[in-house]
Every structure is written in C-alpha cells, then in structure tokens.
Structure 1
Amino acid sequence: MSFYQVNPVQTNVLYNKALEYADLSGDETVWDMYCGIGTISLFLAQKAKKVYGVEIVPQAIDDARHNAEINGITNAEFFVGKAEEVVPDIYKKGGDGSHADVVVVDSPRKGCDQVLLDTLVHMAPERIVYVSCDPATLARDVKILQEKGYEAKKVAVVDQFCHSGHVETVVLLSHKKPDGHINVKVEFGEGEGKVPLDNIAKRAEEYKPKERVTYKMIKEYIEAKYGFKVHTAYIAEVKRDLGLPMYDAPNAVEELKQPRKHPTAEKVEAIKDALKHFEVI
C-alpha cells in the first residue's frame, strides 16, 4: 500500500535536487506534505532541526517511522491523515509543528487542495519546494502561490519515467520581501491636511471583498433566466476552458475525464452570461 518511486536511480537525483532547493542550514523546521514512506523527510532530516511528515496511507506512515528508526533519525515526526486536514488543524492549535521555515510538497497528480495552499500561505515558510509529476496541476498551484506572495526562483526537470512523455518537476518558491518601507502619518477628521472619515468608509466599501460565487448560484441564475438546468460538470468545463480556478468543484473536473456529453452551445453561452453577471469574467 506504500508509494515508492519506480526509478531508484533518478529518485536519488530528484530528492537531492529537492534537498538542494530546501537549502537547509540545520536550524530549520520543515514540513513534508504527502510524505509517503518518508524518503524526502529523512533526506531533509539529515540537515534540518526538525521535520514533520504527513501522509494519508497508514501503512506508509508505519514504513516512514520504521525507516527513521533503522537509519537512526530521531528528529522526524509523522502524522496519518489528509494533508489538507492535518496541517490546518495543527496550525490552528499552535505549538509544535504550527510553524515552518521550509515546506516540501510532493503532491499526487491532482495537485494540492486549496485549503492546504491557504494554510501554507498562513504558515509563511521562507521557501516552498514543490515536487510534481503533473506539470499542469503544478502550474495551477504555483500560480496561486505566486498570487499569495511567493515567487518561482528555480525549476528543474528530472527524467523519472524514461521512454515516456512524463517527467518529475521540482520548483523552488521563495517568499517575496518588500524592497523597502515608507512611513506615512495620516490624521483623520475635518480641516486642512486631514482625511475625512466619510472618505474612509466610502473607500472601505469600494474595496470590500466580493461575495464568493458558487456553482449553486450560477445554476440558479441560469434556471431563473433561461428556464433550463445545467450540470455542475458543464460549468466546470466552461470555467476550465476559460482558465478559471477549479477548486469549487474538484469532483466535477474529475467527471470530465469520463466519457460524457459536452454542453450545447446554448448552455455554454448561458454559463458565460452567468459568469459575467457575477463578475467572474
């Protein structure tokens, strides 16, 4: 039941590249997401202060703990469960494991869950090393992390699956730092050189976050205006074609991989109209 890379020679190349990008000095706390049997975790533990690994398969975690024991590694701790559930829970509770200087992600082909990405941003590690077997979901997640304050610094491709079109990719993302600081003194109230409080309230209203648009809202809008229903998978397909985020309905995206009918031109236009109505596009 435990995952292991099929090419042991290139696995050594891959994990050494991940270790290089992690750039550990010995004082860091590191999280290894989707750690499997702890291979990357134990690579990192040799040069880190503490490493935490999380994996959903219990047998893999048993192997990880055994591997740590037979290799004499005592600074690695492993958790069983979904990364998007375990890590946010530990972060919210605070204490050991709630902070990370470096995070390594070796995600499954579907990429990272949005909840996990949000938690990583809150943990604010200095570096994120993202290992991926699917360049498409990697690009999607890197784009999200870049929008949240991270910058892709280095990329390496490892020919892990010889004689095929598949590769493993390693990306180093670093937290962006401000170039400098400007101190501004502002006085509120009435009179010359002061900012009226009415203006503050008006600007706050202008910058108030928009309501999150759900698939249910889109479906209800279309049914009310056009008189027909659209499947969630159709909305997902149109959003995917437009390059929009798909996290709202990951199952709908998976459905599209199965043979099924595509939305008619009429339904495509109705979905686009709804997306414009809710200012998604």
Structure 2
Amino acid sequence: MSAVRRHKEVIDMPYVGTLCVTVDNLGRAAQIGTGEAVRPDLEEPGLKALPRLLNLLDEVGITATFFVEGWNGLHHPDALRSIASRGHEVGLHGWVHEKWATLTDDRREVLLYDGTAALRNVGIEPKGFRAPGGYRGSRTAQVLRELGYTFDSSVEPETENAPLEVRPLLEGLVTIPWHWDMIDYYQYHMHPDGERSPAQLLEHYNSRLDEAIRTGGLVTLIVHPFVSFTDGGDRYTAVRDFLSRAVAAPDVDVVSAGQLAARSLTREHGVTAGTAAQ
C-alpha cells in the first residue's frame, strides 16, 4: 500500500501519529572525509546492503528520503539512480560527511554548490538537505533556498530536545526535525547507557510511535544502510518489524521528508492537507 493512499485513509482521524522515514549516508564518503579511506569501494557494507534496504521499502510500501553525500554523485551514480528509480527521494548530506557545524560559512556554500551539482549531474534534483553531524549552522538555509531546495532536516541546539514540529524557516524552507534517539547508529554506538540490542531498539521505537499516536505527534526515523541492513540478522529484523507495524496501523501516517514538507507548504498557501493529498 502506497504512502499516498495511506495518507488519504488516515487524514480525517482525530489523533494520527506521523512517521517520517529517512536514510543517511552511502559509500565511503564519511571515511574519505576523515582520511580513513582515499578511494571508493564497491564492497563497502552499506553500498552492498542498499538492495536489501530498497527491497524492504518495496515490500512494506514506503517512500523514504535518502540523504546522501554529494561525493556519491561522482563515484556511485548507479546506486543513486537505483534509489530514485524505485520512487524514493534523494537529498544532500554534505560532500564527504563533514562536521557541518564546524565549517565556515564560505566552506559550507562551496560544498552545497558542489554537492548539488554532483547530484544534478546524475539526473537528480535534490529538494532536501540534512547536515552531517546534525547541526545546520549559519547561512546554510539561505544558500539552500538560493539553490532551489524546499526543506531542511537538520537540528538546532535550542530546539533539538523539543517535541517535533514541522515549521517554516525565515529563509522560506520547511524544517523536518528529528531526535537523536530515533537513529539506529545512536542506539547501537552512541547511547549513554551503552550499546542497545536490536530488541531494545525496537521496544524504544515502538514506544515513541505509541506516544506519537496518542498525541497526534511526529516521529522521524533515521537508519543507515551500513548499520541495520548489512545482513538479514536481528538489526534488520528490528527495522523491518517496526516499519511493518507502522504501515499496518490505521492511526499512523507513514511519509517521506519531502511529502511532509510538501504538506506543510501546501497548508501555508491556504490549501487543506486533505485537499493536498488528492
């Protein structure tokens, strides 16, 4: 069942939780950025896991937003085209996964222009951006707007722990927020209590979704191909079970970041969400 049809079915319910499904990182881009690698690798675990991830999204009927580093436009154009050909959105995630908040404004502008050009050169017109490391930093939103982007999915220190709310930025973009605890990498490698098990991750994800259903709130999921999809084991099963539960639930609206942004922009222009879904 498609995300669009699901949206039509649940839009009139009084309390609807929204799950926004996103994917981060591809290839050796991050390792190139840190100096751990110097060339692309077709055997990179996340790259090899991409077909398994795409097949799962097909199986459950979800459209996701993939935030990929612009470097992949040069070195893995076929992988990017495979994502787009399956109906998913492709957004920009820096050039080689730089620590975005530590860069100068000028350096961010260079990387935004180069990353956008690299994606456009393989036939992809990115509309969304997520800052590597999470934080958008200054001037980024202005440059994104100049480049034709419509939404940003980064975080701001002053609001990163607040309830998630899609809202407009002064620069004319929509922001699609998220929380750290809904990232698979965070649960397995950054959790303050130590590495979580797949069963603990699934329990936490489900509790967050239950809360969103009760309050009509938003949950943004961030998964990484190299973290949860390198084999058919427990990590893969946890994500599969969570997504399957969300899709089957009549009170959950499962959307991509771009779909969520489009809905918000449509409402800003005076058209109801129900009309926009038609």
TM-score range normalised by the length of the shorter chain: 0.3 to 0.5
Higher gyration radius (CA): 1
TM-score, with structure 1 as normaliser: 0.34
TM-score, with structure 2 as normaliser: 0.34
* Larger proportion of helix: 2
